[in-house]
């Protein structure tokens, strides 16, 4: 799979810009410093040169931002103009101190490549004429504040076109895989991030999606309902399936993370709605007494019922996405198995192995052979609390069930996994009240990548105080009441990202990602070199 940490580092650098006052301070400092270094004919000349070029860049980028429907706001536009101004100042330093002062006329053309790439990936209506027009309109300001030299206009124009051509070559290089269309994907992602409109990226993902049939399990225990869809609540932030948990909890008391991987991420809000708005065709059933089987790396909690079996897989030291095929294995031993990935023991970079799947299979086989014990009276208690921080996405919920006086409970923490030490701590709290807790998380990805500085953050001991407070209050006020049980399952067809998409993305990222960054640096340098070579030939 794609290295998540590397991606987070990448978009952190791309989308983080300083505040305006910081940008202004940098701009003023760069103008003063460059004017001092380049002031061979008077420092005021260069102060005026950089001030008016910088001002012209800001105005032109704002105007073309509107025309091209750019995702840049005014702060990002200001910073981009500042960045280009610094590149122009560097070109002036090279011209004055290393080549020929007359060559400063071509300095703005050295940004043509980066300007082209920046406009392409941040604009909805990009045209290669846009960077050309911007730099040609900038030329009169550059012309006024430059030194007299023959053929200045010709040198500037050819240098600008060369830089734009490099931009075209770079985009073509990234788009060599016609099936995956990396520039289109990257462009829609950048626009989504800049504008905050998930449908921009979702509409592109739809082109790569596949129709997937997944099962949605619905359980009603007394007045409270549980949904366990075999679709993954990702990929991140507010894209597609990342809205799955939040939307499901609008209709249900508890969300359980049924076995699924990123390949089953729904791609759009419409697909999420198709999953969570299922009403279900419920049938009456009844629970029997729960039991546990344990292995080397996993523990399986079994809640048997007459018409279905709720199976919760706990990782003793680590657990992450368990593939949907596990439910097919479970069908060999249980009727209508509802297989839940507890997602409650975070370990960095862990991926489930064939050995892990084999252990889970044999645990299910062992559990399937155990005799069922009838439960004469089921009583339940439910409590929930809305809560959100940088790790917890919106809700804590507790369902306590009494099986002829034997207390078991499911504590749902709405987060993307959790650290084992927190899980064990909360389990001990439950035991103090005589309740054997299954502590699960929803694998909610709505906090994943919520900002360039916040990525994958599982619940941890920093959250212990608030969760413990909720848990103790609920258990101290527990009022059990007799309840019946209803069950329904529906197969739903929605558009998902698919395993093939992630394989291709992983391949493309490794093939073009690093080389693309190197090529970006090469073309940026070539833009400088070619501009000065052309200046030497023409001027």
- Per-residue pLDDT at 8 exceeds 50: no
Query: Per-residue pLDDT averaged across 377-404, rounded?
Result: 96
User: Would you tell me how many other CB atoms lie within 10 Å of the CB of residue 306?
Assistant: 15
| Pick from 15, 393, 454, 453: nearest CA to 196 | 15
Q: What is the pLDDT of residues 155-181, one digit of tens each?
A: 899 999 999 999 999 999 988 877 778
Which residues contact residue 369 at a Cβ distance below 8 angstroms, ignoring those fewer than 6 apart?
333
| Pick from 344, 85, 366, 377: nearest CA to 222 | 377
Confidence of residue 536 (pLDDT cuts 50, 70, 90): confident
Confidence of residue 41 (pLDDT cuts 50, 70, 90): low
Each as own residue / partner, the long-range contacts of residues 355-360 (CB below 8 Å, 24 or more positions apart, any chain) are: 356/297, 356/298, 357/323, 357/326, 359/295, 359/296, 359/297, 359/298, 360/295, 360/298, 360/300, 360/313, 360/322, 360/326, 360/329
As a whole number of angstroms, the distance between CA 471 and CA 278 comes to 30
Each as own residue / partner, the long-range contacts of residues 4-7 (CB below 8 Å, 24 or more positions apart, any chain) are: 4/455, 4/456, 5/455
As a whole number of angstroms, the distance between CA 258 and CA 245 comes to 12
Positive or negative: CA dihedral 355, 358, 362, 363 = positive
pLDDT for res 4: 47
Pick the range with the lowest mean pLDDT from 45-49, 244-248, 294-298: 45-49
pTM of the model: 0.85
Confidence of residue 34 (pLDDT cuts 50, 70, 90): confident
pLDDT over 70 percentage in the chain? 94
As a whole number of angstroms, the distance between CA 443 and CA 322 comes to 12
Q: In what order do the strands lie in the sheet with 210-221?
A: 254-255, 224-229, 210-221, 485-496, 283-285
- Per-residue pLDDT at 123 exceeds 80: yes
- Per-residue pLDDT at 225 exceeds 60: yes
pLDDT for res 220: 97
As a whole number of angstroms, the distance between CA 155 and CA 162 comes to 11
Which tokens sit at 13? Answer: 């650098």
pLDDT for res 81: 94
Q: What is the pLDDT of residues 66-78, one digit of tens each?
A: 999 999 888 899 9
Pick the range with the lowest mean pLDDT from 13-27, 96-110, 353-367: 13-27
- Per-residue pLDDT at 513 exceeds 80: no
pLDDT for res 2: 45
* Strand extents, DSSP E, 454-508: 481-482, 485-496
């Amino acid at each position: 799979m794609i290295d998540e940490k590397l991606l987070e580092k990448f978009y952190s650098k791309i989308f983080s810009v300083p505040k305006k006052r910081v940008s202004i301070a940098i701009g003023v400092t760069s103008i003063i410093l460059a004017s001092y270094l380049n002031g061979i004919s008077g420092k005021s000349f260069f102060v005026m040169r950089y001030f008016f070029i910088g001002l012209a860049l800001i105005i032109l980028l704002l105007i073309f931002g509107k025309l091209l429907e750019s995702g840049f706001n005014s702060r990002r536009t200001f910073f981009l103009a500042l960045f280009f101004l610094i590149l122009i100042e560097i070109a002036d330093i090279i011209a004055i101190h290393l080549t020929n002062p007359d060559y400063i006329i071509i300095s703005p053309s050295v940004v043509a490549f980066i300007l082209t790439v920046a406009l392409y990936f941040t604009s909805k209506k990009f045209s290669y004429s846009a960077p050309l027009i911007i730099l040609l309109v900038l030329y009169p300001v550059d012309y006024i504040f430059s030194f007299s030299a023959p053929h200045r206009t010709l040198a500037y124009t050819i240098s600008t076109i060369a830089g734009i051509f490099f931009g075209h070559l770079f985009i073509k290089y990234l788009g060599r895989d016609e099936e995956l269309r990396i520039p289109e994907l990257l462009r829609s992602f950048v626009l989504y991030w800049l504008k905050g409109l998930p449908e921009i990226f979702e509409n592109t993902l739809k082109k790569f999606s596949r129709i997937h049939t997944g099962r949605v399990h619905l359980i009603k225990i007394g007045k409270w309902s549980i949904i366990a869809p075999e679709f993954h609540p990702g990929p991140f932030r507010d894209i597609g399936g990342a809205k799955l948990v939040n939307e499901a909890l609008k209709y249900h008391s508890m969300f359980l993370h049924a076995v699924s991987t990123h390949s089953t991420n729904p791609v759009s809000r419409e697909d999420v709605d198709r999953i969570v708005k299922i009403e279900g065709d419920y049938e009456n059933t009844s629970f029997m007494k729960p039991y546990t089987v344990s292995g080397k790396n996993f523990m399986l909690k079994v809640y048997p019922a007459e018409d279905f079996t709720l199976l919760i897989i706990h990782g003793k030291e680590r657990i992450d996405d368990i593939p949907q095929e596990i439910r097919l294995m479970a069908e060999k031993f249980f009727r209508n198995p509802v297989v839940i990935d507890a997602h409650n023991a975070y370990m960095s970079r862990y991926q489930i192995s064939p050995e892990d799947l084999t252990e889970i299979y044999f645990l299910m086989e062992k559990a399937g052979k155990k005799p069922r014990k009838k439960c004469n009276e089921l009583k339940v208690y439910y409590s929930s609390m809305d809560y959100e921080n940088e790790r917890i996405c919106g809700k804590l919920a507790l369902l306590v069930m009494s099986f002829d006086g034997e207390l078991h409970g499911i504590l749902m923490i709405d987060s993307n996994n959790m650290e084992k030490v927190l899980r064990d701590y909360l389990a001990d709290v439950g035991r103090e009240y005589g309740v054997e807790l299954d502590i699960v998380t929803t694998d909610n990805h709505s906090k994943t990548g919520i900002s360039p500085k916040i990525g994958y953050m599982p619940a941890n001991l920093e959250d212990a105080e608030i969760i413990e407070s909720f848990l103790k209050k609920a258990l101290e006020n527990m009022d059990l009441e007799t309840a019946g049980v209803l069950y329904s399952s529906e197969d739903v067809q929605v558009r998902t990202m698919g395993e093939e998409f992630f394989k291709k993305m992983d391949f493309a990222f490794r093939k073009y990602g690093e080389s693309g960054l190197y090529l970006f640096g090469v073309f940026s340098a070539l833009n400088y070199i070619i501009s000065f070579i052309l200046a030497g030939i023409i001027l």
